[in-house]
Structures are given as structure tokens and as C-alpha cells.
């Protein structure tokens, strides 16, 4: 399965063996229009290629799929910008499918459900969709499935 998230369109499209089985609107981080996620607390949603690195059937936000943010590309950008040191960089790139989520770049970026009455972009960098759609996605998603997030 592969998932495409188009930030500018606020749209998630999921395909299984090339066939679209889900196309739904999403809510993003409160700073999503400011570009890709750079650091913890910026409210931005990442951009790039990731994989599903965790599954939580009892998430505080209904169900959740953890993403492999920060990836090696994010880590290199953070190292070059002085946001992380060499040690943090090595921890991230040494396990790209389950990177360190406790660096200044942030982590715990998820695709998850939405509490009732939430409107607009409200997450801290995650991708939120309605719970019914999240249930459908969660049933089919597996660890290692690809997630591409476009601007």
C-alpha cells in the first residue's frame, strides 16, 4: 500500500496494488502552510518520503499510524542548519524506518483520527482525518508502507 498526502490540497489518497481505495480530506499542522517541518514545536507537517513505522489501535486520537519522520534527509538538513548535533544525526540515520523521535527536529508525527468538532489545521504537525476514514486506512496499513507528503 502507498499513501500520498498533498498538503496544498489537504488531500490523502491511499492505493493498494495501484488501486485507489481511499481519497479523503485531511487536517494538518497549524503551521503547515509555512513549509516542511524543521523542528519540534513549529506546527509544520513534514514533506518528503516516509514509511509507516508504528501502529496504535488505541490512540488518543482514535487510531494512529506513526511516520518515519525525521528521515535521513530531514536529519541532514537539521545537521547543516545547526539544529541537531552529529550524535543526534547518527541516531536518526542509523534506524531510518524507526528514527529517534526525541531530537530537536521533533517526532511522533502520525496519521490519526480527529476528535469531534475539530476544524481547520489544528495538529502539531500530524495528518488528521475523520475517524471513519482512519478506520479504513488503519485496517489496510502495514509497517513499512510508503507515505509521500507533497507541499
Give, to the nearest 10 degrees, the angle between helix 72-80 and helix 86-93.
170
- pLDDT computed for residue 119 by the predictor: 87
- pLDDT computed for residue 96 by the predictor: 84
**Residue length of the chain:** 151
> Cα separation of 96 and 132, whole Å?
30
> Cα separation of 48 and 5, whole Å?
10
CATH topology of domain 2-150: L,D-transpeptidase catalytic domain-like (2.40.440)
Name beta bridge partners: 112: 64, 128
How does pLDDT run along the chain (151 residues), one tens digit per residue? Answer: 999 999 999 999 999 999 999 999 999 999 999 999 999 999 999 999 999 999 999 999 999 999 999 999 999 999 999 999 999 999 999 998 988 999 999 999 999 999 887 889 999 999 999 999 999 999 999 999 999 999 9
Q: Model pTM?
A: 0.95
Burial class of residue 50 (count of CB atoms within 10 Å of its CB; 0-12, 13-18, 19+): buried
Amino acid at each position: 500500500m502507498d499513501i500520498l498526502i498533498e498538503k496544498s490540497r489537504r488531500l490523502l489518497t491511499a492505493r493498494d496494488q495501484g488501486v485507489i481505495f481511499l481519497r479523503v480530506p485531511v487536517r494538518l499542522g497549524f503551521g503547515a502552510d509555512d513549509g516542511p517541518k524543521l523542528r519540534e514545536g513549529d506546527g509544520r507537517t513534514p514533506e518528503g518520503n516516509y514509511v509507516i513505522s508504528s501502529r496504535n489501535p488505541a490512540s488518543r486520537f482514535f487510531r494512529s499510524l506513526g511516520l518515519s519522520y525525521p528521515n535521513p534527509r530531514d536529519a541532514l538538513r537539521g545537521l547543516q542548519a545547526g539544529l541537531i548535533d552529529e550524535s543526534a544525526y547518527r541516531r536518526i540515520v542509523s534506524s531510518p524506518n524507526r528514527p529517534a523521535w526525541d531530537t530537536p527536529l521533533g517526532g511522533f508525527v502520525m496519521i490519526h483520527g480527529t476528535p469531534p468538532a475539530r476544524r481547520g489545521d489544528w495538529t502539531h504537525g500530524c495528518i488528521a482525518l475523520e475517524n471513519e476514514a482512519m478506520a479504513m486506512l488503519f485496517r489496510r496499513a502495514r509497517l513499512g508502507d510508503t507515505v509521500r507528503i507533497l507541499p
